[in-house]
Amino acid sequence: MTDTSLKFLEKYLNNAAPTGYEAEGQKLWMDYLEPYVDEFITDNYGTAVGVINPEAEFKVVIEGHADEISWYVNYITDDGLIYVIRNGGSDHQIATSRRVNIHTKNGIVEGVFGWPAIHTRDKSSEQSPKLENICIDVGCSTKAEVEELGVHVGCVITYPDEFFVLNNNKFVCRALDNRMGGFMIAEVARLLKENNVKLDFGLYITNSVQEEVGLRGAEMITQRIKPDVAIVTDVCHDTTTPMIDKKKEGLTKIGDGPVISYAPAIQNNLRELIIKTAEDKNIPFQRLAASRVTGTDTDAFAYSNGGVASALISLPLRYMHTTVEMVHKDDVENVIQLIYNSLLNIKNKHNFSYFN
């Protein structure tokens, strides 16, 4: 990573791009990627793809997703308080006492998720935060006053928390899940360009929308691209933090390297190519087993177009779906290197069949 790429990362993370409203973040991403690709593809819902060698018949995708979790305004009380529903997997338990940005046609309206003072709560039957009892205060006393600000049902709500570096080597921000993926695949494209690598296949650097509501952007764009191979990068849990059962979740840790997944959607020969690449290049890596699905865009690519050879390289992350998601700088570098070097080991019309 260069100073320029880190400045882009900070700008990219600090820009809000909630599910369904990713366009402004995609524009930032495309501006950064533009020197490293031959052309762009976009679709009606906002997925953006930078293409290298667009005329090539054999197509390889490297992919992350652009959207972040958020809330929708769902109901405004007569007293001017706002109740919400999820847009993606937003966590009700971390909402209380947080500042929020409500996105309106008039611009950002600031608010807070309020919570009753400890002095006023019944200690014998204390409630925990849940979707039914968290609400946003924008400083208004009536519904009409809220509406005058431009806030209405359907406005999307994000947290304003911004990027910072903790203890020199930990990146912390909301929405590392998974704009780190978009950043890392853009860095792969930069390295290919700066190292004068001439691929003998088409490379589709894909930043999909709407992953947080069911892999929808990947479902759409894979039908457009019709790739032969897909290497997806997303985040996975650091399971060394408190209250996580390693017997259930497995053992993965920030700082210990990229995480390579095992799952039915993972094409075994492609996965083994990636593992061999890591071993040959001395890139540290971890392993993770999924029971049925990866829960990432890998599943959308794998099961499309009659079956696309797909694999998943994950970035271990602490505190997923909070405002303080945390990753290790070394892991970010190593994911970039692992994807980059894996591409160098894929050849035109590479046959990943089990029946060669």
CA dihedral 149, 153, 154, 159 (to 10 degrees): 60
Instruction: Report the C-alpha gap between 51 and 226 in whole angstroms.
Output: 13
Distance separating alpha carbons of residues 284 and 189, to the nearest angstrom: 22
DSSP lists the bridge partners of residue 61 as 204, 230
212 as an active site residue: the answer is no
What is the DSSP-derived secondary structure letter of residue 99? Answer: E
User: CA-to-CA distance for 231 and 340, rounded, in angstroms?
Assistant: 11
Closest residue by Cα to residue 352 from 289, 293, 305, 309? 309
Exposure of 180 in the CB half-sphere (CA atoms within 13 A): 33
Query: What are the φ/ψ torsions at residue 60 (nearest 5 degrees)?
Result: -120, 130
Centre a 10 Å sphere on the Cβ of residue 45 and count the other Cβ atoms it contains: 15
Q: Which of 22, 63, 187, 211 is catalytic?
A: 211
CB 291 within 8 A of CB 320: no
Residue 85: strand, helix, or coil: strand
| Residue 271, Cβ density class (10 Å: 0-12 exposed, 13-18 middle, ≥19 buried) | buried
Report, in angstroms and rounded to the nearest whole number, the Rg of the chain calculated over CA atoms.
Answer: 21
In sequence order, the β-bridge partners of residue 8 are none
Of 24, 347, 19, the closest CA to residue 212 belongs to: 19
What are the structure tokens assigned to 1, written together?
A: 């990573």
Residue type, 216: R
Q: Strand 135-137 vs strand 107-114: parallel, antiparallel, or unpaired?
A: antiparallel
Longest dimension (CA), the chain: 71
Q: What residues are labeled active site?
A: 211
